Amino acid sequence: MLDWSQCSAVERIPGKVGGAWLFVGTRVPVTALFENIEGGATVAEFLDWFPGVGHDQVDAVLDHARASLAEA
């Protein structure tokens, strides 16, 4: 299980989008990134579809996930 509390690009606010981990300043769940990538989307497409999310935020989330996998 990833510890998203250590990733500065995401936030969890009780009552906001069911308490899911979201990209900071948006209502876009982090899971949306992984679901879209898993479905064949590129990062560029994801950013087009979710304009409130910044490229730096996506990079930080992917880097955090990658680092967490390396630790496992």
Tens digits of per-residue pLDDT, 5-26? 999 999 999 999 999 999 999 9
Mean pLDDT across the chain: 95
CATH code, 31: 1.10.10.10
Cα(39)–Cα(33) distance, rounded to whole angstroms? Answer: 10
Q: How many domains does the chain have?
A: 1
Percentage of residues of the chain with pLDDT beyond 90: 90
Domain residues for 44? 4-71
Q: Which of 62, 60, 53 is nearest to 23 (CA)?
A: 53
Angle at 42 between CA 54 and CA 66, to 5 degrees: 70
The tokens describing 21, both together, are 């981990």
Q: Tokens 């990079």 map to which residue?
A: 59
Kindly report the pTM of this predicted structure: 0.92
Model pLDDT, residue 69: 86
Percentage of residues of the chain with pLDDT beyond 70: 97
